[in-house]
């Protein structure tokens, strides 16, 4: 079906082929580190394998999905392991999509706010799957006000003491929340962290290094595709 859709849409086909050529050029000709890691990720089919490979999860497990988008990750984890998934999605459009999708599944819980190091309202710039309130490169003026809550206040309200897996894909928001958890010496509340670090943030390399140093006290990195996806498991 996907092949037929591409063939019937020459512009989409051109963009898809062009994207692959550009990634290959950056990876193999320019030796761009990010392009190399992205190429390696797709070659290894990480989205279908590594991101869903948590055999320790079961129907009693708690998963936090930070940046739930339309709920694909939450659906896959719940379907595979029967775990309870809290989906944190501040964008009203995608929150509503999750609410409709999981209307009959009480083990997937959509919440219309994000998690961060503090309470607040932020402007969310809608860039399809790359919505962000931290990306300084956005040109879209159609911003949406969204809400974030301080993570530990949310944990107290939900009466959750341990999280078995926390997936984080929040377009730059990973840095403040993880640094906050490290500074409060509570990084060990989570068994597994699946993180997409973003490199458009100023000083992204040094911030990621600082977080890595904090993780090493309690967790071990089990796999890594730099600035694509990586996983940290509690020792």
* 21 and 58 co-located in one domain: no
- Inter-residue contact 133 to 116 (CB < 8 Å): no
Average pLDDT over residues 31-39: 89
- Inter-residue contact 164 to 172 (CB < 8 Å): no
Domain holding 219, by residue range, is: 50-234
* 221 and 108 co-located in one domain: yes
* 136 and 29 co-located in one domain: no
Does the pTM surpass 0.95? The reply is no
Short-list 169, 200, 195, 198, CA closest to 182: 195
pLDDT in tens, 158-178: 999 999 999 999 989 999 999
3-state SS assignment for residue 94: helix
- How many angstroms separate the CA atoms of 208 and 210, rounded? 5
pLDDT in tens, 169-209: 998 999 999 999 999 999 999 999 999 999 999 999 999 99
* 88 and 112 co-located in one domain: yes
Tell me the sheet residues that pair with 123: 145
The tokens of 3 are what? 């092949």
CATH of the domain at 72: 3.40.50.150
Task: Kindly state the helix (H) or strand (E) to which residue 203 belongs, with its residue range.
Answer: none
The tokens of 40 are what? 């390696």
* 176 and 112 co-located in one domain: yes
The tokens of 137 are what? 């490169």
- Inter-residue contact 121 to 145 (CB < 8 Å): yes
For the chain, what is the domain count?
2
Asked which of 27-41, 55-69, 157-171 is least confident by mean pLDDT, the reply is: 27-41
* 202 and 138 co-located in one domain: yes
- Inter-residue contact 148 to 113 (CB < 8 Å): yes
* 76 and 15 co-located in one domain: no
* 120 and 167 co-located in one domain: yes
pLDDT in tens, 108-159: 999 999 999 999 987 776 654 444 444 444 455 677 888 999 999 999 999 9
Average pLDDT over residues 214-222: 97
* 78 and 107 co-located in one domain: yes
* 123 and 156 co-located in one domain: yes
Q: Are strands 163-168 and 62-66 parallel, antiparallel or unpaired?
A: parallel
pLDDT of residue 26: 53
Sheet of 108-111, strand order:
108-111, 84-88, 62-66, 163-168, 190-195, 229-234, 219-225
Using pLDDT thresholds of 50, 70 and 90, give the confidence band for residue 30.
Answer: very low
Using pLDDT thresholds of 50, 70 and 90, give the confidence band for residue 16.
Answer: low
- How many angstroms separate the CA atoms of 148 and 16, rounded? 34
* 135 and 116 co-located in one domain: yes
* 34 and 149 co-located in one domain: no
């Amino acid at each position: 079906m996907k092949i037929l859709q591409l063939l019937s849409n020459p512009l989409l086909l051109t963009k898809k082929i062009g994207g692959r050529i550009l990634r290959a050029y950056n990876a193999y000709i320019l030796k761009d580190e990010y392009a190399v890691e992205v190429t390696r990720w797709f070659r290894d089919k990480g989205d279908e394998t590594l991101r869903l490979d948590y055999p320790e999860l079961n129907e009693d497990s708690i998963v936090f999905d930070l940046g739930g988008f339309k709920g694909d990750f939450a659906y896959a984890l719940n379907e595979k392991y029967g775990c309870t998934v809290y989906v944190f999605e501040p964008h009203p459009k995608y929150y509503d999509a999750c609410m409709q999708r999981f209307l009959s599944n009480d083990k997937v819980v959509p919440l219309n706010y994000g998690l961060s190091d503090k309470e607040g309202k932020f402007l969310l710039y809608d860039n399809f799957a790359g919505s962000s309130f931290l990306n300084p490169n956005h040109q879209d003026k159609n911003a949406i006000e969204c809400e974030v809550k301080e993570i530990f206040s949310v944990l107290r309200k939900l009466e959750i003491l341990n999280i078995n897996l926390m997936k984080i894909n929040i377009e730059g928001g990973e840095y403040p929340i993880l640094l906050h958890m490290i500074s409060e010496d509570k990084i060990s509340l989570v068994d597994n962290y699946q993180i997409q670090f973003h490199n458009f943030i100023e000083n992204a390399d040094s911030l990621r290094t600082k977080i890595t140093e904090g993780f090493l006290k309690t967790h071990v990195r089990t796999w890594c595709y730099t600035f694509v996806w990586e996983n940290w498991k509690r020792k």
